Amino acid sequence: MTYVDGFVAAVPTANKEAFRQHADKAAEVFKEHGALQVIECWGDDVPDGEVTSFPMAVKREPNETVIFSWILWPSRDVRNQGMETVMADPRLQPESNPMPFDGKRLIYGGFEVLVDR
């Protein structure tokens, strides 16, 4: 069964193109290591909440935009093996492809797919 890694972060709005380039390079590496699909989304209708929200979760600052991303894998086993090799890939090391945002505020997790229509 397919498996999904999900991500939410706040990216400085001025870094939109740098983020797109960073994400494009990363997507290539993830797909080489077993990912079926990599989706990177730039927020354009992400409201502030009163109790919870994406902006609150990532502590978005006024000059930042929320991104929402996911990686689709064939299975959790493929994801585990793929993530291990992706993290070791020199093309994704900070010297080669620095993150254009604060990685300390990146929210991520792995999810088992329950419904896929």
Looking at residue 95, what is its pLDDT? 86
Q: Which of 97, 105, 101 has the alpha carbon at shortest distance from 26?
A: 97
Task: Give yes or no for a contact between 68 and 54, defined as CB atoms under 8 angstroms apart.
Answer: yes
Looking at the domain assignment, is residue 73 inside a domain?
no
Asked whether residue 59 is domain-assigned, the answer is: yes
Alpha helices in 4-53 (DSSP H): 16-32
User: Mean pLDDT, consecutive 10-residue segments, the chain of 117 residues?
Assistant: 97 97 96 98 97 97 98 98 95 88 95 94
- Counting the structural domains of the chain, the total is 1
Q: What is the pTM of this model?
A: 0.93
CATH (domain of 9): 3.30.70.100
- Its domain, for residue 105, covers 3-66+91-112
Instruction: Return the pLDDT at 18.
Output: 96
Give pLDDT, residue 24: 96
pLDDT at 68: 98
Residue 85 resides in a domain: no
18: in domain: yes
The answer to whether residue 82 sits within a structural domain is no
Please indicate, yes or no, if residue 107 is contained in any of the structural domains: yes
